[in-house]
Amino acid sequence: MTALANRTCTACKDGTPPLGADDVKRMLTELNDWTLSDDGTTISRRFEFKGFAKAVEMANLAAWLGNKQGHHPDVAFGWGYCLVSFTTHAAGGLTENDFICAARLDALVA
């Protein structure tokens, strides 16, 4: 199987089923420091920095990746942090696209 970070997102269609809990658990092991929300619909990683400019850079990097992949993160940032979250709106939960984007972001910051 190709590593997640080398895969490309496919267009999300409304009604796409979300991944099951077992697949989510397995795919999480391929990521660095991402946490699953309590309701199982979202993965997030918090990046910490000393200052504001780096947090803005991180937000821009996540936005750039989302545009490249056609799959878009939710991003919150402020002084010292940037919180990036992925969920698939069209599925109402997690799909492979979320894990591909998370792995790609991991690779970009590694």
Ligand X SMILES: C[C@H](O)[C@H](O)[C@H]1CNC2=NC(N)=NC(=O)C2=N1
75 is a contact residue toward ligand X (CB under 6 A): no
Alpha-carbon span 50 to 97, nearest angstrom: 30
**Which listed range, 24-32, 33-41, 56-64, 88-96, lies at the site for ligand X (CB under 6 A)?**
88-96
Alpha-carbon span 56 to 88, nearest angstrom: 23
**Comparison of 14 and 22: residue with beta carbon closer to ligand X:** 14
Residues whose CB is less than 8 angstroms from the CB of residue 70 and which lie 6 or more positions away in sequence, other chains included: 9, 11
Q: Is 75 helix (H, G, I), strand (E, B) or coil?
A: strand
Of the candidate residues 41, 42, 85, 88, the single one contacting ligand X (CB under 6 A): 88
Contact mark string toward ligand X, 20..49, x via CB under 6 A: ------------------------------
In what helix (H) or strand (E) does residue 69 lie, and over which residues does it extend? helix 53-69
**Comparison of 45 and 71: residue with beta carbon closer to ligand X:** 71
CB of 36 to ligand X, least distance (A): 16
- Residue 52 exposure: Cα atoms within 13 Å on the Cβ side: 2
Contact mark string toward ligand X, 5..24, x via CB under 6 A: ------xx------------
